[in-house]
A and B are shown apart, each in its own frame.
Chain A
Amino acid sequence: MNTLAARRTRNLGMTVVAALLILWLSDVMTTALQDTSRMSGWGLLAMIGFLAAYNLRKKLALLPLGSSASWLQLHIYIALLTAVVFGVHLNWKMPNGLVESILALLYLLVFASGVVGLFLSRSLAKRLTTRGEEVLFERIPVYRKRIQAEVEAIVFSGLEESESTAVAQFYADRLREFFLQTRNFWQHLVQSNRFRFGLLKEMQAYGRYLDESERAMMTRLVTCVEAKDDLDYQFSLQATLKYWLFIHVPLTYALLVFAALHLLLVSAFSGGVS
């Protein structure tokens, strides 16, 4: 068993044990007529606070608060554990009240987005290494512009060197839009090469009607198409890896706001913070 697998097994095992312990403790407390909602509520709030602090930890890189990787591991497994505490807190039923329903919904969205994010970071990161050149996300527009410029240079040079406009016509009809901006976001996300193969096949078929110099140009264009498609692939996956946080992080803030409101209400209406 390699180190990563061992670590995952250990962490997952500890999480499962902790979850079982929480469930057992909840049963015991229920039996003892203790207020499990209060205990699980405080527990859940502390756990969510810790999870939210991960974002803070990333901003305070200089402080000796442990490695980001360790925080991420804790973030993942404690987040998984919150699902059990959340279920215990709600007695495994959706609440009826407005505030509680909003709060529960926010938690579920944050949790679900987190799980999705975990899945994406596990799966997309691997896929990023399998196709195209690994590039910085912020530089992708620069590279795309550069490819577009290169393609236009090829096409325009062809017009100057040859009287035929076949390649230029093909570019205008089929390639210009493709090179203009990022394309096929969702197809890349689901690992579909349908567009790429279709376009390349079309270019190959088109080559039969071209002369030698035009075919050479078309070959260079094929290379650019592949580069642009790989760049789109990188963009699609990297954007997804970045943009899932646009749901996860903002909703976490909303979750904290409504958790505070919920805490105020339950404390005032059912027995004080103590």
Chain B
Amino acid sequence: MSEGPSHASSFDENDYSRPNQPWQCGWAAEGHACPLGPTKWGLCRSAHECTPYKNGDTWFCARTKAHGGTCDEGPLPDGTCCKQIQKCQPTRSVLSRRGVVSFTVFASAIALAFIILGSPNRQNLVSPGDLTSQHSQVIDRCEDCHAAAAGGLSDWTHASFDATVTQRQSDLCLQCHAELGPNAKQPHGRNPELLVELTRQQVERLTSERQRTDGELVVAKTMLPQSHDALSCATCHREHRGNNADLTRLTNQQCQVCHVDAFHSFSDGHPEFTTYPHERRTRLYFDHVSHFGKHFAVGESGRDRKCNDCHQPDVAGRYMLVKPFELTCAECHSHQIHDDTTLGIAVVAIPSLDVESLRNNAREIGQWPSEYPFHVEATGTVSPILRILLHSYEGYAAIEETLSGVDVSDLRDADSPQLLAAESLVWFIKGALYDIVQSGHPEIHRRLTTVLGTNVSAQQITMLANSYPLNMTIEMQQEWFSSLRDEVESKRSGNAFAHQTEDAPADPGLAIQVERRESDMVASGWYLHGSSLSLRYRANGHADPLLKTLLDVGSVGIGNRSDALSPQETLHALFDQVASPFAAGRCTKCHSVERGQDGRAHVNWLAYRRPLSEHRFTGFSHAPHVTLLREEACAECHSFNKAPGDVASLFRPEFVTSNWLPATNPHDFTSDFEPMSRASCAKCHSNDSGRDRCLTCHNYHVR
């Protein structure tokens, strides 16, 4: 330190100093600040060194000792001090300068804020960041997502105190994301009551030894809302975090905080799989064990097949789909569809009648083909399709009721009402045939619509009506009901008509016609089958549209079956007729039939196809696994639950009932494969791999 003169000791303490006031005398830096100092507005107040006082007629100097005492010159004659102080330029104190800078910056900040709020480009300026690339493509205005954005500053202020803003914004989200369903704002998009029930079931399965008890999770659980208030979308999805932000990212912790079954990781504590992924039978009946154990066995048939011969990933690589029939099953099963060793489906079957009994009881039926001896296969049953056509008559249901349990081919023990009903049946059948021959397809369409209109789609009715072979109906009429026109017209006009006597011989020409029909039986399509008095149909190949429609229409009767004789019951009879695995086309040999949750049955014409809207709790993508595991991919996870040699029976009970009809409960089954094991997944999806996030396999939004 230098040893110069002491500043403090040399400082004139009488010098006026105001470091805490905004303005300082301009002479202060020169060391002689004036005693008055500047005004608070920074104006110099300099005047004179003193204010003289008057004593008698004389003015005296009043300068204080601190400022030098009385001066020698003394006041001027007018009483003013002779020592005028030179004006200065007051300077701001450091504190004041800081205040000025602070005020300037503060005012500038407010101005900038108002410039931003008042700018025409306000929405972009106040945006807290870029939207994700997905949203930025479809959203260009703040009000698309923010309820308050449409208004001005006052609306924003009002919205700031509006507690409903969050939910209203979620509603705006759901205007676009309507696919999330009515419960979108509830946890997992599910009905809260269902979640409560699922939680209750989960609690029952809890095992204490694997439960997490770490503090963070325990404390976090206490922060969860106790009520079932609707969640806002922003609870999980935080926007404005850049184009590449992951809106759906959730940590394992965040998933576990709500779940009563909280465990450490997938490999440590995750519940074991039970039936996954085989939670229902396959839609196509395919016995993997028997096929691989027998039909595909090398040396047996020479068909050395691998999984990917029949399966291929979908476009996204997510699901393994079944390849088309022509590439998979056709080689071995086409001939079964075209099987001409079985009769086609009797679409219109004329019942064999006990004509003799009817005539003996004075029942007028006119000409009836079953009286001829070559109709050996004809039965006393009206075919389902014919029954449907007859149901368009108002009184037909009563006839069916009267004839319930009666074999019309043997009416010897029938009582009078039954004989009368049989007679009516004859005229209903003849009337229907007559109308069809006269009016053609529109008549069939009308009758089908009358009977099935409420249960079957117009498209299906049109399909059935248009497929009906009118020419063959005419041939049938000409061959089996040659006097149909006269008989029906006479009957309807109330005239008596002549009928063949019981002794009349069979028309030999007709017999020849029928025999020709027998020999002309076609391998596919429509044909008349004389010995069973029926118009029949054989499949034209795989995916035959008529057979598909018949099964679809018939399956309607499954869900609506009642004890009463009704069109629905008739549909069920149609289903029973077509759905047998031995019926023509053998559709249900492979295509399973099942009841939906609404009780209605339907035929699974396709193997599993993921609906676009489906989003389940658990998801799995085959593509990365197949890529990683290559040839061994399938067997690595899908192992048979039976030995290859343990070939199953031809029809397993989960697909076919004991009376040879399709079983309709898809969940009553035994899978061909063992369930997946958690351990096999955990080989790769471990803590170390970083691929054990909950969201790797699970979806939050379920629909």
Contact = CB atoms under 8 A, between A and B. Distances in A.
Interface of A: 24, 27-35, 95-100, 102, 130-133, 135-139, 141-143, 145-147, 150, 223-224, 226-227, 229-231, 242, 245-246, 249-251, 253-254, 257-258, 261, 263-274
Nearest to B15: A142
Contact of B5 (A227, A253, A257): A227
B129 A223 contact: no
Interface stretch (B109-117, B201-209, B667-675): B109-117
B254 A270 contact: no
Interface in B251-266: 251, 253-254, 257
Contact of B160 (A30, A31, A246, A264): A264
B376 interface: no
Looking at A24, A138, A145, A251, the one whose CB has the most chain B CB atoms below 10 A away is A138
What 6 A-B pairs are tightest by C-beta distance, nearest first? Answer: A227-B4, A96-B129, A226-B2, A267-B160, A250-B105, A97-B128
B160 A138 contact: no
Contact of B2 (A150, A230, A269, A270): A230
A257 B163 contact: no
A98 B125 contact: yes
Contacts of A146: 7, 10, 31
Nearest to B12: A142
A264 B105 contact: no
B98 A265 contact: no
Interface in B565-584: none
B41 interface: no
Given A133-B8, A272-B163, A273-B161, A96 B242 contact: yes
A182 B299 CA distance: 107
B34 to A, nearest CB: 14
A96 B130 contact: yes
Nearest to B142: A269
Contacts of A230: 1-2, 4
Given A132-B2, A231-B7, A269-B148, A27 B216 contact: yes
Nearest to A134: B8
A100 B128 contact: yes
Given A28-B216, A133-B8, A141-B29, A246 B161 contact: no
A97 B128 CA distance: 4
B595 to A, nearest CB: 39
Contacts of B11: 139, 142-143
A218 B77 CA distance: 51
Contacts of A97: 126-129, 240
29 contacts: A32-B257, A33-B236, A33-B257, A95-B128, A96-B128, A96-B241, A98-B116, A98-B126, A138-B93, A142-B31, A143-B7, A146-B31, A147-B4, A224-B4, A226-B3, A230-B2, A246-B98, A254-B108, A265-B126, A268-B148, A268-B165, A269-B142, A269-B156, A269-B165, A271-B234, A272-B164, A272-B165, A272-B166, A274-B161
A88 to B, nearest CB: 14
Contacts of A30: 251, 254
Contact of A271 (B2, B166, B224): B166
Interface string B482-502: 000000000000000000000
A32 B221 contact: yes
Nearest to A267: B160
B106 interface: yes
A114 to B, nearest CB: 15
B456 to A, nearest CB: 49
Contacts of A130: 1
B181 interface: no
A137 B163 CA distance: 54
B7 A133 contact: yes
Question: Chain B binding site: helix, strand, loop or mixed by DSSP?
Answer: helix
B129 A95 contact: yes
A187 B289 CA distance: 91
B94 to A, nearest CB: 5
Interface residues of B, number: 74
B613 interface: no
A201 B93 CA distance: 38
Given A139-B7, A223-B4, 8 more contacts: A28-B220, A33-B236, A98-B125, A223-B3, A224-B4, A231-B7, A265-B126, A270-B165
B134 interface: no
Interface string B144-156: 0010110000011
Contacts of B1: 130-133, 230
Nearest to B153: A264
B106 A250 contact: yes
Contact of B223 (A29, A95, A98, A226): A29
B431 to A, nearest CB: 72
Contact of A31 (B4, B216, B242): B216
Interface string B636-650: 000000000000000
B227 interface: no
Contacts of B240: 96-97
Interface in B217-274: 217, 219-221, 223-224, 232, 234-236, 240-242, 251, 253-254, 257
Interface of B: 1-8, 10-11, 15, 17, 19, 24, 28-31, 93-94, 97-98, 101-102, 104-106, 108-110, 112-113, 116-117, 125-130, 142, 146, 148-149, 155-157, 159-166, 169, 216-217, 219-221, 223-224, 232, 234-236, 240-242, 251, 253-254, 257
Contacts of B224: 32-33
Contacts of B221: 32
A261 B129 CA distance: 16
A135 B17 CA distance: 14
Contacts of B117: 261
Contacts of A263: 160
B130 A271 contact: no
A227 B29 contact: no
Given A30-B254, A142-B15, A269-B146, A253 B109 contact: yes
B113 A258 contact: yes
A35 to B, nearest CB: 8
Given A99-B126, A227-B4, A33 B235 contact: yes
A29 B2 CA distance: 61
Given A139-B11, A250-B105, A32 B220 contact: yes
A113 to B, nearest CB: 12
Looking at A30, A31, A138, the one whose CB has the most chain B CB atoms below 10 A away is A31
A254 B106 contact: yes
Contacts of B159: 267-269, 272
A266 B240 CA distance: 12
Contacts of B104: 250
Contacts of B223: 28-29, 32, 34
Given A95-B129, A141-B29, A271 B106 contact: no
Given A31-B253, A98-B125, A265 B156 contact: yes
Contacts of A226: 2-4
B444 to A, nearest CB: 62
A253 B102 contact: yes
A270 to B, nearest CB: 7
A254 B249 CA distance: 35
Looking at B104, B109, B156, B169, the one whose CB has the most chain A CB atoms below 10 A away is B109
B128 to A, nearest CB: 4
Contacts of B8: 133, 135
Contacts of A27: 216
B295 to A, nearest CB: 54
A102 B93 CA distance: 31
A250 B4 contact: no
